[in-house]
């Protein structure tokens, strides 16, 4: 039986064979809109599950786009509008991708969105590197569908069948479906270079975030890590800034102790879990939307949070110049220390 493998038929079949990819990946993006706006409003500031706070979790180890994330989480009003716009864009891109409507244009949208996920949150994932996998697979899928088009089961194909003249418009084949505008050697180079770039990005981010290509494996989503900066002693006040830069994103680090010791190990200041559970909120100055705050039995430090704490105590009055050690203790038993040098007033 003679088969007619015309170019248009090949593209029609290629797009049809990738229908499952289009539907599943398209839903992963459209479902973001569906979950955040239709099923539940996740755009309410200062409420549990606010998407802006979840976005803040990406900050500590984002790759390449950290300044953008930091600017957004430090400006709550702009962050809210950004989250709304991103959510709507994800919904539109996902829906167009599933329907095969302007398929190649939607594919570019998928590549951009997946790239943002990869660079922003690819380091998050306590068990299976889930955010990294979502990112790299989204980019690969977007590129594949960009080449193949929507195929038989797509709105693009329906429009072409009803208006054959569309296929003769160069812009239509770039943004929708049908024969790819590049042919021959140019197309081969695009496929090879594009695939190589995506493979490089996959291996590079896997190594950067997890050490998954060579060397020792590491996972920044397992244990909490607190960084202490700008610690100083003045009169009767201890002031320092703490940032949580590692650990699981779905719950905070629970601080149960803040202590100040001299070099002999004598405690000058010792706040326990009850003290921290009732710590004055006016003495906590948060920088981002993910806020350090007193909890029921400890002080809660969400992933990505950064705050300056002011602690006043009579025990700090007339403190002798010298070296002191600030110690923060997590409920897991982990501790973080920072040396403070108190000079002469």
pLDDT at 293 over 90: yes
CA distances from 4 to 7, 9, 134 (A): 9, 8, 38
Range list of H helices, the chain: 7-17, 19-33, 51-56, 66-74, 76-99, 103-121, 130-148, 155-162, 170-175, 184-210, 273-277
Indicate whether 285 and 200 sit together in one domain. no
Indicate whether 21 and 104 sit together in one domain. yes
Domain that residue 277 falls in: 225-342
In contact, 133 and 87? CB cutoff 8 Å: no
Domain boundary among 164, 187, 210: 210
* pLDDT of the residue at 170: 78
**Count of domains for the chain:** 2
Give the burial class of 255: count Cβ atoms within 10 A of its Cβ; 0-12 exposed, 13-18 middle, 19 or more buried.
buried
Indicate whether 77 and 194 sit together in one domain. yes
Indicate whether 182 and 206 sit together in one domain. yes
Q: Does the residue 268 lie in any domain?
A: yes
Q: Does the residue 281 lie in any domain?
A: yes
In contact, 96 and 34? CB cutoff 8 Å: no
Q: Does the residue 110 lie in any domain?
A: yes
Alpha-carbon gap, residue 281 to 110, rounded angstroms = 42
CB atoms within 10 A of CB 201: 17
pLDDT in tens, 135-167: 999 999 999 999 999 999 999 989 888 887 766
* pLDDT of the residue at 217: 87
Q: Does the residue 219 lie in any domain?
A: no
CATH number at residue 271: 2.60.40.2950
pLDDT at 89 over 70: yes
Domain boundary among 182, 210, 238: 210
* pLDDT of the residue at 189: 97
CB atoms within 10 A of CB 189: 11
Q: Does the residue 250 lie in any domain?
A: yes
* pLDDT of the residue at 149: 93
Query: Do strands 293-294 and 237-246 pair parallel, antiparallel, or not at all (unpaired)?
Result: unpaired
For 224-262, the DSSP string reads: -EEEEEEEEEETTEEEEEEEEEES-SSS-EEEEEEEEEE
Indicate whether 314 and 182 sit together in one domain. no
Indicate whether 194 and 83 sit together in one domain. yes
Indicate whether 202 and 230 sit together in one domain. no
The helix/strand/coil state of 141 is helix
Angle among Cα 203, 208, 209 to the nearest 5 degrees reads 100
Domain boundary among 210, 245, 261: 210
Indicate whether 176 and 120 sit together in one domain. yes
pLDDT in tens, 48-68: 889 999 999 999 999 999 999
As a whole-number percent, the residues of the chain with pLDDT over 90 amount to 75
* pLDDT of the residue at 3: 37
Q: Does the residue 220 lie in any domain?
A: no
Indicate whether 61 and 189 sit together in one domain. yes
Q: Does the residue 215 lie in any domain?
A: no
Indicate whether 247 and 139 sit together in one domain. no
Q: Does the residue 75 lie in any domain?
A: yes
Indicate whether 144 and 240 sit together in one domain. no
List the one residue out of 289, 296, 301, 288 whose CA is nearest residue 328: 301
Indicate whether 153 and 26 sit together in one domain. yes
């Amino acid at each position: 039986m003679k088969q007619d493998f015309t170019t248009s038929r090949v593209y029609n079949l290629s797009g049809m064979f990738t229908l499952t990819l289009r539907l599943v990946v398209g839903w992963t993006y459209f479902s973001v809109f569906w979950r955040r706006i239709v099923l539940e409003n996740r755009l309410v500031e200062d409420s549990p599950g606010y998407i802006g706070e979840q976005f803040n979790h990406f900050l500590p180890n984002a790759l390449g786009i950290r300044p953008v994330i930091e600017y957004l989480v430090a400006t709550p009003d702009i962050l809210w509008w950004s989250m709304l716009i991103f959510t709507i864009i994800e919904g539109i891109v996902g829906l167009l991708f599933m329907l095969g409507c302007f398929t190649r244009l939607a594919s570019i949208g998928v590549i951009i969105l997946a790239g943002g996920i990869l660079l922003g949150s690819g380091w998050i994932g306590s068990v299976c590197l889930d955010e990294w996998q979502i990112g790299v697979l989204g980019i690969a899928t977007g590129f594949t569908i960009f080449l193949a088009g929507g195929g038989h089961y797509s709105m693009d194909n329906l429009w072409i069948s009803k208006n054959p003249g569309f296929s003769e418009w160069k812009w239509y084949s770039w943004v929708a479906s049908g024969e790819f505008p590049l042919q021959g050697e140019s197309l081969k180079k695009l496929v090879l270079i594009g695939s190589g770039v995506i493979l490089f990005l996959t291996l590079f981010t896997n190594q950067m975030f997890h050490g998954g290509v060579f060397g020792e494996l590491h996972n920044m989503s397992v244990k909490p890590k607190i960084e202490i900066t700008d610690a100083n002693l003045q009169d009767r006040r201890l002031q320092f800034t703490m940032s949580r830069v590692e650990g699981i994103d779905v719950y905070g680090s629970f601080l149960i102790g803040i202590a100040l010791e001299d070099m002999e190990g004598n405690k000058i200041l010792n706040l326990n879990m009850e003290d921290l559970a009732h710590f004055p909120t006016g003495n906590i100055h948060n920088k981002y939307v993910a806020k350090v705050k007193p909890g029921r039995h400890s002080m809660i430090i969400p992933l990505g949070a950064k705050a300056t704490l002011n602690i006043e105590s009579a025990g700090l009055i007339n403190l002798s110049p010298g070296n002191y050690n600030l110690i923060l203790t997590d409920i897991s038993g982990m501790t973080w220390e920072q040396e403070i040098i108190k000079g002469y007033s």
